[in-house]
Amino acid sequence: MESKRKHAWVLLGMVIAFVLCAQVLGARSAWAEPQAESNLLENVEITAGGGTFTVDLNLDDKTALVWDIKNPEAPTSISIPASFEHEGATYVTTELQFSMWDKRRNVTGLILPNTLTSVGSSSFYKFPELTEMTIPGSIKVFGGSFQNMDKLVTLTFEEGVEEIASNSMLNGCEVLTQLNLPATLKRIT
Burial class (CB in 10 A: 0-12, 13-18, 19+), 81: buried
Q: CA 41 → CA 4, 62, 64, 90, distances in Å?
A: 51, 11, 10, 13
pLDDT over 90 percentage in the chain: 70
pLDDT value, residue 102: 87
pLDDT band (50, 70, 90) for residue 3: low
**Mean pLDDT, residues 22-29:** 37
**In whole angstroms, what is the distance from residue 69 CA to residue 34 CA?**
35
User: Could you report the per-residue pLDDT of 73-126, keeping only the tens digit for each?
Assistant: 999 999 999 999 999 999 999 999 988 788 999 999 999 999 999 997 778 989
Write down the number of H helices and E strands in the chain. Answer: 1, 13
Whole-number pLDDT of residue 49? 78
Vertex 118 angle, CA 114 and 120, to 5°: 145
**112-149 per-position pLDDT tens digit:** 999 999 997 778 989 999 999 999 999 999 999 999 99
Give me the chain's average pLDDT, please: 84
pLDDT at position 90: 98
